[in-house]
Each structure stands twice: as C-alpha cells, then as structure tokens.
Amino acid sequence: MTKFDPALSARAAALREKIERAGYEYYVLDRPSLSDAEYDKLFHELKALEAKHPTLRTADSPTLRVGAEPQSALAKHTHLVPMLSLANAFTVEDLAQWEERIVKLGGEKVRKSGYVCELKIDGAAVSLTYEAGVLVAGATRGNGVIGENVTPNLRTIRDIPLRLRGTGYPRDMEVRGEVYMPFSGFEKMNEKRVRAGEPVFANPRNSAAGALRQLDPAVSATRPLRFYAYQVALRDGGVPAREQVKLLESLESWGLPVAPHYAMARTLADVHAWAEHVEHHVRSSLDFGIDGGVVKVNDMRLWADLGVVGGREPRYAIARKFAPDIAETKLLKIEINVGRTGSLNPWALLAAVEIGGTTVEKATLHNFELIRDKDLREGDIVQVKRAGEVIPQVIGPVPDKRDKKRPPKPFEPPTRCPSCGSKVEAGAERGMLYCLNANCPAQRLEAIWHFAGRAAMDIRGLGYERIQQFIEQDLVRDVADLYDLAPGKLLKLERFAEKSATALVEAIEASRQQPFSRLLFGLGIESVGEIAAKQLARHFGTMDELAKASLDDLLAIHGMGETIAKSVTDWFGRAASRRLVEKLRRRGLTFDEPRPKSSGALKGKTVVLTGTLETLSREQATELIEANGGKVTSGVSKSTSFLVAGAEAGSKLEKARALGVKIMDERELLKLITAGAD
C-alpha cells in the first residue's frame, strides 16, 4: 500500500487547479493564459503523478477527460426531476395566447415578473449531477425520466467544469444543458474524415448526439463537442434562485458556460423585439445551430403554481420557434464564376428550397479543395445553411441519401477557364484556381461591374447585362473606355432609347467627380477593400504619390498588412495598370482625396468605439475622430479619454465603467465636435 504523501497530494491539487483554470480561460472566456506547450507540460506531469500514485486521482481530475476505459454498455440514470419538453409558439398570436393562459392561472404577478429570453440550441439535452461542486454523473435526456449514463463522455467536453468555481452553488443539483457541435468544428471533422477515407457525418446535431453515446470515451474526445447550461434541478424539487436571469448569472459565476444573447424582457412586446432581432440579425453570425428561442417566466417561485401540461410541458416556458435556417435539397450542378482577378469561384446550383423564409437556389462553395474535402457531387442531397442575410452555404452532403447502386461521380476541378479557354493555374490560397489571361471576357465583365458598383464609382443604370452588351460590341475594353461612351453610340444598341442612353451617359459623367478613395477601390486591386482604399487615399493624398510608394512606405501605415501592401505595389508595378491610370487621367477623373475639415476638438484625445452607432459606420466614426485630432484605439485602458458606445456594446463598455472612463453616445460625440468648430 502506497504511503500518503502530503507534498505529492498538494502538488496534484495545484496541477488540477492550474489545468482547469487554463481550460476555463481557453474554452469559456476565450482568453488563454497558457501556451499549448505549457498546458501539455502540466497535464503530462499530473498524468504521470496519478499513474504512479493512483490514490491521488480525484473525481475532478482533468486526466479523466481522456483517460476512461471503454464501456461495454451504457448504464441507466434516473434524473432528480424529470427533464420536460416545451410547447411551441410559431407566431405573435401563439405567444399572446400562452401569456393569456398563464396569467389566468397565476394572476398579474406572472406578467409583472417579466420574461427571460434564451437561445434554443439545436443539440442534445443532458443533465450534469454535481455533489459539493464536483461532477459525479452525466446523462442524456432519454425519455425525460430515465436517461443513459454518459459521464466519461461528458468529461471529455472541455467547457464542462469537473469542479465548479466560486461559491453559493447547491450541494446536490443537476445542471441541465445542451451539448452541441459548432459548425466550424463539424466541417473540420468531416474534412479530416474525407482525407482518411471515412464516411462524412450528416449534420452537427446528430453528430453531437452520436458522440455522446459512444462506448469508448476516447472517441468522444476526438469530436468537437461544446456545452451550454440553462437550468438547475434540486433534489427536493425547490428552485435554485428567485429569478431565472439571476440563475443564468450564477451558472456563469460557477464556471458553467451559458449561451450568449440571453435577455430580460419586461413585456411581451420586448420578447417579440428580441426574437425578431435574433432571427434576422444574430442567428446568421452564430457558429452553432439554433431553432428558436426559449421564453421563461422570470420569477422562478411562480413555476410550481403554473404547473405542467400533460405531465410533459411546463407552463412557465415556451419555445418561440424560428423558420429553419438549415434545409436539405438537391445539388443540381457545380457552376464556376470567373472573378475580376481571374479567380475561378465555384458555386452550387440547387433545387429551390425555402430556408428562413427565403427561397434559395444558389449557394457559395468557396474553393475547389472544400468541394473535395466535403466530397460534394452533382446530384447529391445536401444540407444548406443561411450564412448571412444573402449568401447561403452548403454544409455538406447527406451520405445516407446518396444512391448506393449508381452514386454520382466525384467532381473534377476544371483545367481550363470556362470563359476564355485558357489554361488555369493554382493560386497561393488553399484550393483556388486562376485564369491568367488578362483579356478574359469574364474578368473584364467583373472588373467593370465592380468599378460601377455603389461603393465604388456608383454609376447608376450600369448593370451586368449592359456591360456584357458593351463588351460583346467591343465598345468597352476597360473601365476607362466607359468615359468615351456617348448617347449616339448607345442608341445603335438593342434595348436603348434616347432617354435611357442619355441617363446612363450622365451617370457616367457624374462619376468623374467621385473622390480618389472610391476610384482606388473601383480599380479592383486584390485585397484592397473599401476601408483600405480610404486609408491609402487619406494617407498618400493622390494617385501619383500612392503609385510611387514602396513596400516599406505602405507597411509603415498603421494597421496596413503585408498582403495589401504587396498587392498595391504589384498592381502599380504592372505596365497594363500604369496605362490604365493614364487613360483615366486623360478622361478627367479625380486623382486626389479631399482633406476633411477639422475643428481640432479632439486633439490629444484617445477614443475607443464599441457597439453599433446610430448613423455612423465604424469607419466613418474613426475618420471623423481622426480628422478632428483624436486617436482611435481598440482597447480600453486608464489612458482612454472616452468610450463611444452604441447598441449591443460588449465587454469594452463594462471595462470602461470599471476603470471610470467617460462614456458617451454618437450624439454626444457629434455635439462635442460641432462645439469645437464654433
């Protein structure tokens, strides 16, 4: 029998604390304090110590996240309190009827309590049993009363604490939550499986549920699983807090991750506003699936009085369902668009499907390596997700729905440009192919369309079809040729009348007055977006000064990266680019940037911006502050003069409050600048 050694026990305890703290900082706070090498060193020391002295291994040891033996079967687990399902509300009227029912049962105090709105994670429901703050068991939902004990598998999820942090948690409790798989992790996992010759998984939700039920925890440990907590059940059936919103705050203080974007709503109108915002503005930016929100009566003391419907649906909460943002449809064809820089950009032509209230027939495929990694084939049934308000993306194929007898052929990337037939070459970027023919019609079309765009020269009425018509008739070879067009030339073309021809020529003429920054963006230099174009135009002032700038000159600009700097010097270094600049000069375009008027009201001031301002974009606000003598920095510190906060301000606002930094909104900023100009 090994003799107890207090020094070794203390060392093991210290290692456990350091490793768990590092995991919490990395997975929950997203602020790692240890490097991977430092973390691995501590972990291996603890593992070796426990192997030599098994009595030192405790129930909360981080080594249990990967070190459990495979199980022969999953044991049953009875939940302290049944895990119930939620009724659904699909419309404003459904929510109003729900409120009417619970107010009838509980009185006006239900309405006065307000509601807590939380994201409804599309994952697998689990319960975690903590005794004296230590995780002792974890189970799937099962039938709501009895689930399967998957404790070793849940221990592999890095953001589930093996020991709770802080104080004030109940001695015996079950934490309810959702295990999910992020979209980014799901895609990387499938890419690895394709490279290994293994079948890909169908979707993140099923993959998360399947990973939980693995008999070998080592397999679960390889899956990118994450966890969010949302509820606590007590052995005596009591409530763990007076308010649900306070419970969520407590869960976070105990080291349990809580889904973002939860909010307190005083009225049902506030609930509707929250749901609209999440469905149409937040949902597309999330790295995990949600299928709605959960609305709960905030005062938890009222829950028992409101009761349960049919033994399965609590009245105190309801699911506010959203239109699905993931759907299955057929991949009809993989098409290729040639961009203005010669890049071959694949995209998916889909059988029309409704996603989130919008009919989708096209989706981005990013690059050819992604098509290979996901094993996408024409004719596949695929899952499609809205990746934003406009651009959907293909998550991957549904392998079970692929024809086993006559499977579609793997997609072969093109060897020649689909527009001009020139041989294509691989680019520096992963999976990208390029047409190097500068006279490629598709490249000219895209370059002119970009030049005429609203963010560039803003030539109204000059759309895709018009540009294509000009190229086919050999009226326009580059963007400078637009300024040689006259109504008489246009009237000879189809679909042009005197009024439309005159209007287009006038719009082209008006664009000569656009500032240098817009012209620079319109030239379509690779990697030079709107913000970079404004920064370059403001710094150099004129086209001529920018054209003769060296790589070092460009890199000396604050925030200017090597990719943009090299793109600019390469572009101006080409003879064809210099000829285009001279053609534009002869046609009278603006080659210098007007200097913004300055009041000097912010001279010597250091300003930080956070959230969404009322009327100014982040770039416009930055330009305004700098034009008036101020300096914009990204981080809040004691030296910050003031913070300008807009809607949905984040952690910078809290830090500013903690440091006593002055906080103002956009109106106060504009008032300060205006007063300085008087």
Instruction: Give 363-387 pLDDT, tens digit per residue.
Output: 989 899 989 988 999 999 998 987 5
| Shared domain check, 150 and 174 | yes
Q: Residue 428 has what pLDDT?
A: 76
Of residues 189 and 331, which shows the higher confidence score?
A: 331
CATH number at residue 207: 3.30.470.30
- Catalytic status, residue 3: no
Please tell me whether residues 256 and 341 are part of one structural domain: no
- Amino acid found at 102: I
pLDDT digits (tens, 9 = 90+) for 322-362: 877 778 999 999 999 999 889 999 999 999 998 866 788 99
Phi, psi of 126 (to 5 degrees): -140, 165
Residues 376 and 304 in one domain: no
The 10s digit of each residue's pLDDT in 200-220 is: 676 788 888 888 888 888 888
User: pTM of the prediction?
Assistant: 0.54
Full domain range(s) for residue 620 = 606-677
Residue carrying the six token digits 């000069």: 585
pLDDT per position as a tens digit, 644-665:
998 777 778 878 887 889 999 8
488 Cβ partners below 8 Å, 6+ apart?
none
Give the gyration radius of the chain's Cα atoms. 30
CATH of the domain at 618: 3.40.50.10190
In what helix (H) or strand (E) does residue 630 lie, and over which residues does it extend? none
Where residue 508 sits, what CATH number does that domain have?
1.10.150.20
pLDDT tier, 556 (very low <50, low <70, confident <90, very high otherwise): confident
Question: What percentage of residues in the chain have a pLDDT greater than 70?
Answer: 93
Asked if pLDDT for residue 236 goes beyond 90, the answer is no
pLDDT category of residue 676 using cuts at 50, 70 and 90: low
In the prediction, which pLDDT does 621 show? 84
**350 and 254 inside one domain:** no
Q: Which amino acid is at 668?
A: E
Amino acid residing at 246: K
The better pLDDT of the pair 194, 79 is held by 79
171 and 316 share a domain? Answer: yes
Q: Does residue 132 come out as left (phi exceeding 0), alpha (psi in the -120 to 50 range) or beta? A: left
The angle, 0 to 180 degrees and rounded to 10, between the axes of the packed helices 441-451 and 464-472 is 130
The domain total for the chain is 6
The mean predicted confidence, pLDDT, of the chain is: 87
Environment class of 147 (CB within 10 Å of its CB; exposed 0-12, middle 13-18, buried 19+): buried
Same domain, 254 and 204: yes
162, part of any domain: yes
Indicate the SS3 state at residue 345: strand
Domain end among 378, 401, 424: 401
| Structural contact between residues 224 and 188, judged by C-beta atoms closer than 8 angstroms | yes
Residue 673, phi-psi category: left (phi > 0), alpha (psi -120 to 50), beta (remainder): alpha
661 and 630, same domain (yes or no) = yes
H helical segments located in 298-350 = 303-306
Q: Are residues 508 and 527 in the same domain?
A: no
- Please identify which residue in the block is written with the tokens 């009595």: 55
Which is the catalytic residue, given 18, 120, 296, 652? Answer: 120
Same domain, 141 and 278: yes
Residue identified by tokens 């001695």 is: 171
Provide the CATH number for the domain around residue 380.
2.40.50.140
- Coil vs helix vs strand at 591: coil
Give the residue from 513, 537, 555 where a domain finishes.
Answer: 513
**Whole-number Å distance between alpha carbons of 28 and 255:** 8
Residue 229 falls inside a structural domain: yes
Q: Determine, yes or no, domain membership for 418.
A: no
Please answer whether residues 85 and 144 qualify as being in contact, where contact means their C-beta atoms are separated by less than 8 angstroms: yes
Residue 419 in any domain: the answer is no
- The reply to whether 271 falls in a domain is yes
Residue pair 504/581 in contact (Cβ under 8 Å)? The answer is: no
CATH number of the domain that residue 21 is part of = 1.10.287.610
In a domain, 414, yes or no: no
The answer to whether residue 596 scores a pLDDT higher than 70 is no
Same domain for 292 and 176: yes
Q: Smallest Cα–Cα separation from 173: which of 205, 139, 133, 144?
A: 133
pLDDT at 389 over 50: no
pLDDT at site 1: 46
Residue 471 in any domain: the answer is: yes
In a shared domain, residues 509 and 548: no
541 and 632 both lie in a single domain? no
Model confidence at 27, in pLDDT bands (50, 70, 90)?
A: low
410 belongs to a structural domain: no
HEC readout, 350-370: EEEEEECCEEEEEEECCCHHH
Indicate the residue among 489, 513, 537 that finishes a domain: 513
